[in-house]
């Protein structure tokens, strides 16, 4: 079987250190090209991983079978919609957009094209966390509490130079990880309540279709010494805590790529972390954002 030709959209820190490295060494994959909004960075990244820099994203889409995205979410949504309409399979970053209409247009484009999609919620592809999810699924859990404390605004953070994170805060950056993991453990979320703390802190209360309830605190402005992601389930079996996310993001990315490759090869358009789930997460985040911005008296 010929390798699936991947294009990479993005040249920032995450694109360079995770996406490009993972794709360049992935099985059954050829990293066939890179496009970035900064042509100089695009050329440098392409040279570093031994591929071609493209001057135009649509030209890249024409040259590949699948596209991995590592750009700000609203940039991703518009470009990924174009890639889907060109018949390309999609490896997306979370959140897939920061507007519900953009997320729904992207999901509709993927459905219309009949292509495969995977959203890279990192923790759901880390081996240790997947093993924990396999252990806790099916147990009678009544709820969970979680914190997702990032320090992306710290002076030495590689994500500090990221305007969309400054604009949207932890709710939209680490919030998707919280929602994905809480959904994976307690089932789909049917209702979300949000309250604002200091800085970009947002507290969430989730009601799941299973009847369970959970909480999450999100921020990107935590001191570096307190940064963590933690989740504890409670219920009939007692308590169970999610393993610390110390796994290799590159290996997790390759797992996501392998599942996209397998889905594309089998003509499968559904995946637990596909674009439809990504759009659902965007709707929940937008609901929470509206509550934060317009709290009830």
| pLDDT single digits (tens) 11-45 | 999 999 999 999 999 999 999 999 999 999 999 99
Q: What is the mean pLDDT of residues 257-285?
A: 98
pLDDT in tens, 213-242: 999 999 999 999 999 999 999 999 999 999
Two tokens, residue 229: 């992601």
Say yes or no: 211 and 136 in one domain: yes
pLDDT in tens, 40-77: 999 999 999 999 999 999 999 999 999 999 999 999 99
- pLDDT of 194 above 80: yes
Say what the pLDDT of residue 294 is.
Answer: 87
Q: What is the mean pLDDT of residues 145-162?
A: 95
Q: Which domain holds residue 147?
A: 127-245
Top-ranked range on mean pLDDT: pick from 1-5, 52-56, 246-250: 52-56
Close Cβ partners of 93 (under 8 Å, ≥ 6 residues apart)? 14, 69, 70, 71, 73, 76, 119, 120
Q: What is the mean pLDDT of residues 89-103?
A: 98
On the question of a cis peptide bond just before residue 23, with omega within 30 degrees of 0, the verdict is no
- pLDDT of 247 above 80: no
Q: Which of 141-155, 157-171, 234-248, 270-284 has the lowest mean pLDDT?
A: 234-248
Say yes or no: 241 and 254 in one domain: no
- pLDDT of 297 above 90: no
Say yes or no: 151 and 107 in one domain: no
Say yes or no: 148 and 240 in one domain: yes
d(CA 145, CA 239): 11
Residue 149 included in any domain: yes
In percent, how much of the chain has pLDDT > 70?
Answer: 98
Say yes or no: 100 and 168 in one domain: no
Say yes or no: 23 and 107 in one domain: yes
pTM for this model (two decimals): 0.96
Q: What is the mean pLDDT of residues 124-141?
A: 95
Q: What is the mean pLDDT of residues 150-159?
A: 94
- pLDDT of 245 above 80: no
Q: Which residues pair with 230 in a beta bridge?
A: 147
Mean pLDDT across the chain, nearest whole number?
96
Say what the pLDDT of residue 225 is.
Answer: 94
Say yes or no: 166 and 179 in one domain: yes
- pLDDT of 1 above 70: no
Close Cβ partners of 198 (under 8 Å, ≥ 6 residues apart)? none
The tally of domains found in the chain comes to: 2
CATH number where 91 lies: 3.40.50.720
In percent, how much of the chain has pLDDT > 90?
Answer: 96
CATH number where 164 lies: 3.30.360.10
Say what the pLDDT of residue 296 is.
Answer: 73
31 and 24 Cβ atoms separated by less than 8 Å: yes
């Amino acid at each position: 079987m010929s390798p699936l030709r991947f294009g990479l959209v993005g040249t920032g820190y995450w694109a360079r250190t995770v996406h490009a490295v993972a794709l360049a060494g992935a099985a059954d994959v050829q990293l066939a090209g890179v496009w970035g909004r900064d042509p100089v960075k695009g050329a440098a990244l392409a040279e570093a991983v031994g591929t071609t820099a493209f001057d135009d994203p649509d030209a890249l889409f024409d040259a590949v079978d699948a596209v991995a995205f590592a750009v700000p979410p609203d940039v991703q949504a518009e470009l990924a919609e174009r890639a889907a309409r060109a018949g390309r399979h999609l490896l997306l970053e979370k959140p897939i957009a920061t507007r519900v209409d953009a997320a729904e247009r992207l999901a509709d484009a993927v459905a219309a094209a009949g292509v495969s999609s995977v959203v890279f919620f990192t923790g759901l592809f880390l081996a240790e966390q997947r093993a924990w999810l396999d252990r806790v699924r099916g147990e009678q859990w009544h709820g969970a509490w979680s914190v997702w404390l990032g320090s992306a605004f710290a002076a030495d953070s590689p994500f500090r130079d990221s305007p969309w994170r400054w604009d949207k805060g932890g709710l939209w950056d680490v919030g998707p990880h919280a929602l994905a993991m809480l959904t994976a453990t307690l089932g789909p979320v049917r209702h979300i309540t949000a309250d604002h703390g200091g800085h970009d802190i947002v507290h969430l209360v989730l009601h799941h279709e299973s009847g369970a309830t959970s909480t999450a605190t999100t921020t990107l402005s935590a001191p570096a010494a307190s940064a963590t992601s933690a989740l504890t389930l409670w219920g009939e079996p007692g308590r169970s805590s999610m393993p610390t996310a110390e796994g290799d993001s590159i290996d997790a990315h390759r797992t996501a790529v392998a599942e996209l490759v397998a889905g594309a090869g089998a003509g499968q358009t559904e995946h637990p972390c596909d674009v439809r789930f990504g759009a659902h997460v965007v709707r929940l985040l937008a609901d929470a954002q509206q509550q934060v911005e317009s709290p009830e008296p």
